[in-house]
Structure 1
Amino acid sequence: MRIRLENLTKRYQEVTAVDHLNLEIEDGDLVCLLGPSGCGKSTTLSIIAGLEQATEGAIYFDEENVGGLEAEERDIGMVFQDYALYPHMTVQENMAFPLKMQGWKKKDRIEKVKEAAKMLQIEEYLKRKPGKLSGGQQQRVAIARAIVKNPKILLLDEPLSNLDARLRIELRDEIRRVQKQLGITTIFVTHDQEEALSISDKILLMEKGKISQYSSPKEMYMEPQNVFAAKFLGNPPMNFVPGEKVEDGISLLLGDENMTVKKGTIHEAGELKGSVCVGIRPEALELCSTEEEEAISGVITGIQTLGKDMYIHFRAGEQMLTACVGWEKTFSEGERVSFRVKRLHLFPWEDDR
């Protein structure tokens, strides 16, 4: 089912939580609403679900305006952060409850529950009560309960926030598998960029109730449309330095060690005139010889070792930068290093305010 939002707005007295949102989600897509706390993503989900009413605007499921429908009339399945399972019921009873409320016969309910339980790999827990399950198992039950009635839309509000890192990876992969298997249009709210990048067909990045960027994960990472999107995605974060477009390339204003980059790929976002904000992802800095031309040179101020990568923090002129490198070489603080730049992102200077 397609979802379309037209000028969706939600105000709480003097606060505008969602600000004239216009959005289209294609049938069968999984879209992540991503952004920092307070950006309006959960409020947007609640309005789509019918749990809150919009101040202005309209919501369409295919061509039907559902703004006047109650939540139970919108044919959605919803999964919350806190599982919201009935503690006095077994897993089977929890999963069958939505079907019971719809008037399904007991035999049909049992068959449908078994089908959903198999899909989420929780058949062996059907006779247990939620208190006897781990957090990951409880969340699987919550997801199974949401899909058991074959809703046209699945809404998930930070469903993995209470789980440890390994379980989060396992369950997000499970959500993606089930979503693709069912072909159900899904909206997934998260503040975790890794979750959004790993499972989305598209990401809606929100800032202060507005759309910062709406695109595929690859496009958002490789071609951010503004400084906010560039800053939010990426770990470690993108480096930013002042710069200027010059005749033979991009001049990086590093203080006493200004340099001009003539090679490498350049992505331009927005209308660029005069001064620009130059973004360089840490992995776009490639270690090279200190004698090489067009290299950014600096002195190492800190080293972080994380798994397969090493983060080198160094000072180049007046700028502090971070490079992401492998383990092939040993580094030490105070050592001078040089990096060639493989890719630059250019933004209007005023975007960096």
Structure 2
Amino acid sequence: MPERGHLMRTLVALAVTLVAGAALLFGAPAQSGSPQPLSVAAAWPRAQRGSVPSHLPDGSLYTPGLFFDARTSAGTARTADTKFLRLVVVEPDRPVRELRRVPSADRSPFTALTGSGDTLVWVETVKGKPELWTGDRAGRTPARLLTADVGALRLYDSEYDLTLTDGLVRWAAADRDGTEFRSVPVGGGPVTTQRAAGDWGLSAWPWAVDGQTAATGASTLRNLDTGQTVAVPTGRRSVTACSPAWCELVSINEDGDTRIELSHPDGSARRTIAEGTVGTVISDVVVLDRFEVMGRVGPQSELSGNQELLLHDLTDRSTVLVSPDAADISYRAGVLWWSTGDRNSYVRNSLDLRTV
């Protein structure tokens, strides 16, 4: 079955597609009388922003997988002859730094990058079998295999696919009877496994959330340290996703538009934050316990196929327009990034939400 993030995007895609099609026939939908979102510059003038070109100086296509700040990132690039994949660090005014190089023939790109300080951890796949690797982002020491004992690794394009806390790398893997929560010391050592019935994924440690393959999404949060469980809001006509602090409920309203609601996991503080041609665009819910990341069909969508990128700020219940024409939207560890331009010529832009 498809993962929860995919299900949520599928739920809203129909409404977005219908409105976009109408815009092609009749022009862009008229804006309502509600105030239009502020720009990032107007709302958060001190926020740190950056951009990364689509190609490195040697001409190779670069795909960032993790930003350390608005201008420094780690990601994947092929060699000019396409025979190798490289994990590289890109930062302003410094040469591109290569951390790892592997043959393209039997490897997948480096995925699920996470880190703490100068320590990076990532997934490499060798002939269909994933491995965990670690390295020093400054390149002082060579990258090394952390473990090949990862089980049936579950990746949901979430910042919690791999977590690095208290000196342990943690992840979730599928099991015949449910889910394995696995961990390994970042310095190396044996893998420890904790099992649970159901389809679970990791959230902010020590929490896990169920419903990863359920049509209606999450129904329970569980503290893996204490065993405490919290039932979360659900509905027959909505898809629920949760973090320990907030739950996101996406549904179709009576007018056929998408409605996005937020509440605490106990159901309190429930409110509608957006309706219309909107949808969720990342897997994680209310990042930094403050920002809900959304996309919306805008005036340029019918031409570009892209969407407006919006942030709803729970501190003052305002919505900010990050980009009027965004594609390839991603988020990790406090930094949001997206592409502008077309497939032949584009730039990846970044916003460090920790500096807002």
**TM-score for the superposition, normalised by structure 2:** 0.25
TM-score by length of 1: 0.25
User: Which structure shows the higher strand fraction?
Assistant: 2
**Structure with more helix by fraction:** 1
Structure number with greater Rg is: 1
